[in-house]
Structure 1
Amino acid sequence: MKPFAGAWDAWSLLFFSTAILFMLPWFDGVNTVFLALLAVLGVVGMVWPRVKDHLDIVNEEDREGFIMPSDETEKPCMGEGGLRLGYTKDNYRPLDIPNGLMSRHTAIVGQSGVGKTTLIEYLLWQQTVRGGGWLFIDAKIDRDTRDHLAYMARCNGRSNDLYILDISSPAESHTMNPLLSGDPDEVASRLMNLIPSSENNPGSDFYRQSANHALTVIVAALQKANKLYHFGDLSILMQSTKALEELERITPPSAERRSLSVFLDQFRVQKKEGVELDMNRLKQVLGGMAGRIALFAQGKFGEVFNVYAPEIVLESIILENKMLYVSLPTMGKDTAALNLGKMIISDLRSAVARIQDLPKIQRPKYPFLAVLDEMGAYVMEGVARLFEQARSAGVALVPAFQSFSQLNKVSQEFGDIIIQNTWQKVIFKFGASEGAETASALFGKHLKFQKSISLTGNESVGSQVLRTRPDSSESEGGGMSVAYREEEDYRFSPDKIMALGMGEVFTLSGSRAYHLRTPMINFPDDVLPCEIARHKVDLPDDKEPLHFEKRLNEFLMAA
């Protein structure tokens, strides 16, 4: 039985004792209803904590099927006010994350196959229902996931708002050209993210900076000439001297043309036929970047990205609350998929920068969800700045990855920035102790009482030598003591994290910790395959396509 202790029991005992006292004959004039009320309050106050303890289903001892206590949840705000992550296992209360905290980003971490994608689908369902927008980068080819998302859109009458980017199946993909948005510096920076960082290699960094300067000058000239271009055109420009000279010719007199001419002059050499560009020297500067750009201009990539009027414009997707699903074929086309992931992330960062400059009323009504599933597969240094600034643009980032080491492989500082800038941490089951220990440390420690029991016993036999009779005596003794010692222990230990079941998570929101069961959407078995809705996009009136690909033979002959 729970002992009397604390203010609750003290007040309950006071009410009950007062009621008994005023029932004595000396207090005949006291209102009986008042006395009965005091007695009831006293009895209820003493009984309720015991009943509550009896009904408590918290179970911290079992290895499997345990139920850890959760902190108090906020008032439910699912829908327009926020998104629901799940239900606490100890009292079945919903945990809703308000929009303001959702904008502070949410990290989802855990080994493969434990329910990360299921939770992501549940979050996207809520976002779709309330008319919000989202981006879902899926680092695996999973037709079921794509069909589920299309089913969500159909159920909510939003099929026309769903865009699909799938380079493994161009016929079932919308088109995109991330080169057309942003100023020259933004476009060049977006392309440079395709090249690994070279901060610790001065030689590589020189060529990296040279390539960045070349891209900035070329893109600036294209924009000044009011030309629409795609990866195929840019690839030709970086591999053909005649194409570069043609660009110089069509660029009107301006600072952009002068910059292009100055850049090209360093590669001009005197030959018998006259002054020509030395392509070998140009390739030393542009060769590595030209190959990466050419990757987006060939085969199935080219079918999706070599367009002058793309259907997908990421900034418009965000501002108009549209939905974009990006499939990365990381298994079959590892290098190409990683570059595509980096390109999308870079485009997202540029879009966030432009949206930050807009008045607050023009930003998304609900936080735009950017779910980066398996982010460790295409992670890069430039993502860190995105986590620091996306909130001000109304973009809520939801990175999902399998282990913290996937972040640390970029740099230790990179992993720290991602964890520091995610207000919510959703931890699924871990398969390795190292990652579980890192996750456990995020939840911190708390004080708990450690119970210890000690038993003592003694036995003695003796004879009394001072008497004339040989009398003897025997004695036995024993004792037991119970002690409680206050000590610090992990709120959720590494062992508990490694023993989580399917769909179970430990969640940290700010400083509050929860043990949750995440919901699962039961989609029909006969979900129809995704059918994309085509969007006709007109070319801008003030610009015209470059069409260098149509002159490919002409340019390559003169390369």
Structure 2
Amino acid sequence: MRKLIGRADFWRIAAPVAAGMAASHPSFAGNPIALALAAGSGFGGYNYFIEEARRSLRTVDEEVAEGFSLRSDDIFPETMGLKGVRLGFTKDRGMPLDIENDKLMRHLAIIGQSGVGKTVLGMNILWQQTARGGGWLFIDAKLDKDVRDQLAYMTRVFGREDEFYVMNVDDPDNSNTYNPLLNGDPDEIASRLLNLLPSSDNNPGSDFYKQSANYALTVLIGALQAAKKRYTFMDLAIMLQSAAAISRVETLIPLDSPAFMVLQVFLDQFKKKDKNGVQVDVNKIKDILGGMSGRIAQFAQGKFGRVFNTTTPEIDLVDIVQNNKMCYVMLPTMGKDTAALNLGKMVLSDLRTAVAKMQGLTKAERPNPPFICFADEMGSYVMPGISRVFEQARSAGVMMIPAFQTFANLASVSPEFEEMIIGNTWTKCFFKLGSIDSATKAADIIGQVKNYQYSVSASQSESASAQSLRVTPESSNSESGGVGESWRQMEEYRISPDKLSRMGIGECVVCSGSRTFHISTQAIEFPPVPEFKKNVYPTSLPAGFSTLDLEGQYEQFLIGLRDTMPVAAAEPL
């Protein structure tokens, strides 16, 4: 049985009651101040009792600076007995918060400063996804071998270790191979590669070279696909600087292929006439496409090359998404930030191609349960084109979970990009926010509620008057008093920015649709796990395809390449 009023509350109630009794003594009969005091003390004692009863009966504690508990809405009844993902338990009533699959495919954003539990929540979601046979892609903006080993352990627990891939350019001997140049049509692959270039907005000169590179890549990749040739990053880098290499590819294309005609039109702009006849101007090719060639070559050399420079890659994102497999991508952003962040952009672009392929399948052929892409610290490697995935991934059975520290990470791309990402995530998890701007924006997203503010006022007045000229002692005196109460309707934040910036580690406010929850998340306690050793998967060339292998004929195709590409080659990767 819960105690409503205790000893400590006696004098708080007895004092105003005693004052009211004293004010009602016959000696004060008719005194307006005494009447006001009697009425106010009785009313105040009653209100104190009601407020103390309410405070004692509720389990929500919003007053303390730390360890507070906010009121949560009722949990979703439709998740009971249905498949979904559990985010945690509400702090006020300890109820489980589950998000069912349909809401998951409307995406989930995780926002919070470093070290407050974003990755822990992501790992918990991936554990549940692995347990129910679902697939996932985890892009991690750091080299965390402990996370890698724990993920490998997770797949073994559920007997799925043969469906697990790791991409780690910092340790190529323990990484599966990957070549994102082989998935998609020429336009998709060219767009993927253009993410390696800086933005050309408001720079006409830069935009000219970028569009030229886009045109060249689309034509050359189309020619290679028409010739049924599998190629590497180095093959493409050589083609962008060698007329002889392009001429070699030209001989491999069927003469009746549209790609042959397009290639002829492309080469015509580089041709010049000299004493030896009509020749392709190699220097003009290098002037326009040399910068793109150098960026592509970064992925063909050193440690990057040992992972990416292959024609039979083990990692195929279309296969991983469609068949509910699992892949962990480790980005060495601290040591090789530019190349690593370009890699993150390329993987997200490849995912966009996989989403497009899933859209072309029947509903029964799409991933079930929904495929999850957990992009941790996405603000580090995000690019504008990925917003299309958030808009259309639901129809492909793919769920996006972007995690970032502040809203400025998204706004740095563009204000429109931030709006598209936030607007296309149905569920949002706000952990402790380190900046007041992010906390205020989060509070605005959660919304406001109407509350009533109660106030009591007391007043008294006295007056006296007498005639200036008088023969008798006539005069008048008056006294008045009153008590008033009022209620004022006002709007205030449902969860204040101050609360959002003072939450503890492992707790967050979840906004899903129109409902809001204050939850505690659960961390998975892993036992000591063995170091990960990669699985070796058999690979082969598709039927009818062969390798281009321009790299094996390096000297034949690139006279003077050593003078044009030393910068990319000299940087250890």
Q: 1:184 aligns with which of 183, 186, 206?
A: 186
For residues 417 and 81 of structure 2, the distance between their equivalents in structure 1, rounded to whole angstroms, comes to 33
Local SS of the residue matching 2:64:
coil
In structure 2, which of residues 229, 244, 247 is the aligned counterpart of residue 245 of structure 1? 247
User: Which residue of 173, 195, 198 corresponds with 1:196?
Assistant: 198
CA distance in 2, matches of 1:530, 1:439: 39
Is 1:399 the counterpart of 2:402? The answer is: yes
CA distance in 2, matches of 1:144, 1:480: 67
What's 2:30 paired with? Answer: none
Output aligned runs, 1:152-167, within 5 Å.
Answer: 152-167=154-169
- CA drift at 1:298: 0.9
Correspondence for 1:341: 344
Shift of 1:50: 11
Structure 1 CA distance for aligned equivalents of residues 109 and 390 of structure 2: 11
Output one character per residue of 1:341-392: Cα deviation in whole Å (capped at 9) or x when no partner.
1100110001111110111111011110001111110111101111111110
- Residue in structure 2 matched with residue 446 of structure 1 by the alignment: 449
Pick aligned residue for 1:59 from 46, 58, 61: 61
Q: Which runs of 5+ in 1 are unaligned?
A: 3-48
Give the TM-score normalised by the residue count of structure 1. 0.86
Alpha-carbon separation, structure 1, partners of 2:491 and 2:109: 26
Conservation of the 8 A alpha-carbon contact between 2:344 and 2:381: yes
The CA distance in 1 between the partners of 2:484 and 2:501, in whole Å, is 35
Check 1:87–1:478 CA distance in 2 against 1; reply closer, same or farther (3 A cut): farther
Q: Which moved more, 1:341-350 or 1:145-154?
A: 145-154
Distance of 1:110 and 1:553 partners within structure 2: 52
Would the aligned equivalents of 1:79 and 1:126 in 2 still touch at CA under 8 Å?
no
Pairing of 1:67-466 with structure 2 (within 5 A): 67-75=69-77, 77=79, 81-253=83-255, 254-456=257-459
Residues 76, 95 of structure 1: 8 Å contact kept: no
Q: In 2, Cα distance between the equivalents of 1:435 and 1:56? A: 30
SS at match of 1:270: strand
Distance across 1 between alignment mates of 2:339 and 2:190: 19
Q: Determine if contact 1:233/1:547 at 8 Å carries over to the other structure.
A: yes
Q: Distance in 1 between matches of 2:211 and 2:447?
A: 43
- Asked if the contact 1:67/1:89 (under 8 Å) is kept, the reply is yes
Identity across aligned pairs (percent)? 53
Q: CA RMSD in A?
A: 2.7
C-alpha distance in structure 2 between counterparts of 1:392 and 1:323, whole Å: 20
Deviations, residues 83-116 of structure 1 (Å, cap 9, x unaligned): 0111111111111111000000001001111000
Contact 1:77 1:83 in 2 (8 A): no
Q: Which residue of 2 aligns with 1:26?
A: none
Q: Which residue of 1 aligns with 2:520?
A: 517
Give the aligned residue type for 2:153. Answer: Y
| Cα distance, 1:444–1:216 mapped onto 2, change above 3 Å | same
After the TM superposition, which of the residue ranges 83-92 and 472-481 deviates more from structure 2?
A: 472-481
Query: In the alignment, residue 160 of structure 1 is paired with which amino acid?
Result: D
**What does the per-residue CA deviation read over 1:175-194, in whole Å, with 9 as the maximum and x for residues that have no partner?**
01111111111111111222
2:567 equivalent in structure 1: none
Q: Which residue of 2 aligns with 1:534?
A: 536
Deviations 1:50-71 (A, max 9, x none): 9997442112222222111111
By how many angstroms is 1:493 displaced?
0.7
Tell me, yes or no, if the aligned pair for 2:168 and 2:174 is still in contact at 8 Å: yes
Q: Is the 8 A contact 1:78 1:84 kept in 2?
A: no
Q: Structure 1 163/51 Cα, relative in aligned 2: closer, same or farther at 3 Å?
A: farther
Which residue type is aligned with residue 275 of structure 2? K
CA shift for structure 1 position 460: 8.7
Q: How big is each residue's C-alpha offset from its partner over 1:404-457, in whole Å with a ceiling of 9 and x where there is no partner?
A: 111111111110000110000110111111111111100110011223343546
Which has the higher mean CA deviation after the structures are superposed, 281-290 or 415-424?
A: 281-290
- For structure 2, the residue ranges without an aligned partner over 5 or more in a row are 5-50, 562-573
